[in-house]
Amino acid sequence: MKHSDVIVSFRGVRKTYDGETLVVKQLDLDIYQGEFLTLLGPSGSGKTTCLMMLAGFEFPTGGEIRLEGKLLNNVPPHKRDIGMVFQNYALFPHMTVEQNVAYPLGVRKVPAGERAARVNDALKMVRMESFAKRYPAQLSGGQQQRIALARALVFQPKLVLMDEPLGALDKQLREHMQYELKSLHEKLGITFVYVTHDQGEALTMSDRVAVFDKGIVQQLDSVDRLYESPCNEFVASFIGDSNRLRGKIVSVEGEFCEIHLADGTRLKGRNVAGAQAGADAIASIRPERMKLAAHGASNGANAIAGEARSLIYYGDHVRMRCGLPQQDECFVKVPLGTEALAGFAPGQPVALEFAPEHLRVFA
């Protein structure tokens, strides 16, 4: 993926529906040719509004949206060369599968002779060519989703947009479709822009993820950087699981700082926000980065004493729920067969250890 090839750019884009509240605030975003970019965030964070502005179903209140350098602000949807897949599939119930897929070609005045071949190619792409004569009501949810995708791809758009397209499917089918979409994307090399509130889905499929909250992109990064190096507390808590510890920064040393918790525990962590000594801070650590010290005895520099509350079984590991003095409960991911699990009893004291570089301190 060459990062010089920007296909879409948002510059200073704002959107308000009532003239007062900005649903999207001052958005600057570049989307690269051929990438799989996911817009991720909770309900009301502005991610779907961004997608709808790119598709042409909404218009920005301010700023510019360009596709390959061309201003899109007032271009109607069918003239944008953009394919769209909705969560509810939006198939026409009175048309057969092949008529549904052919519809965008008719709107774009593609000659009838060429249409049949393009429809067949698009159905082959999603392995649905044998369903051409059926109606949407005769298809399962997963099959309807495939047809909606074929319809978005049939006119060979520059860009395919998807709004929560797997939201209505059951877990197993959803996971299967994630792999299908990812491999289709790799095969076609078209730019995909995907909206979801499901962080697992975003991590599995994307090249990059833009995390939205309150109308602002909080962090735009590759999936591994987003998970390992969240830039603020919102991203840390929204992507994957993380444990939170509250305290005060007492000293700063290069990119690290020392934080004191309410019960006097001293911890060293990465000073992500560049905070000064004296600042109140929230530190975040992933459950898999905490280790149970054998028999509750800890000799590590970074350790917290607490008590074990319960075990939750996950198949390949267990999660231990722990109580900590004057803090929220925390979870530790413990591999099966760990010696410290032997003879587990609720209420027993535990010591949790972790390396300073995995504790991220936000002011």
Delimit the domains of the chain by residue range.
6-234, 242-362
Does position 118 have pLDDT exceeding 50, yes or no?
yes
Backbone angles phi, psi at 108, to 5 degrees: -90, 10
Cβ atoms of 122 and 101 closer than 8 Å: yes
Range 307-315 average pLDDT: 90
Q: What percent of the chain has pLDDT over 70?
A: 96
pLDDT in tens, 146-172: 899 999 999 889 999 999 988 878 888
Range 194-210 average pLDDT: 93
Cβ atoms of 250 and 279 closer than 8 Å: no
Cβ atoms of 119 and 152 closer than 8 Å: no
Q: What is the pLDDT of residue 336?
A: 83
CA distance 234 to 348: 32
Does position 89 have pLDDT exceeding 80, yes or no?
no
Average pLDDT of the residues of the chain: 90
Backbone angles phi, psi at 322, to 5 degrees: -125, 145
Q: What Rg do the C-alpha atoms of the chain give, in angstroms?
A: 25
β-bridge partners, 334: 318
CATH homologous superfamily of 242-362 equals: Nucleic acid-binding proteins (2.40.50.140)
Range 14-30 average pLDDT: 93
CATH code for the part of the protein at 6-234? 3.40.50.300
Tokens of 42: 């909770």
Count Cβ atoms within 10 A of the Cβ of residue 249 and give its class: 0-12 exposed, 13-18 middle, 19 or more buried. Answer: buried
For residues 316-332, one letter each, b for 16 or more C-beta atoms within 10 angstroms of the residue's C-beta and e for the rest, the string is ebbbbebebeebeebbb
* CA-to-CA separations, 193 to 32, 205, 223, 226, in angstroms, rounded: 10, 11, 15, 18
User: 6-234 with 242-362: one CATH topology?
Assistant: no
Confidence grade of residue 295 (pLDDT, cut at 50, 70, 90)? low
* CA-to-CA separations, 249 to 127, 274, 361, in angstroms, rounded: 57, 11, 9
Tokens of 90: 């939006």
In terms of pLDDT, which residue wins out, 336 or 226? 226
Q: Taking the model in full, what pTM does it have?
A: 0.86
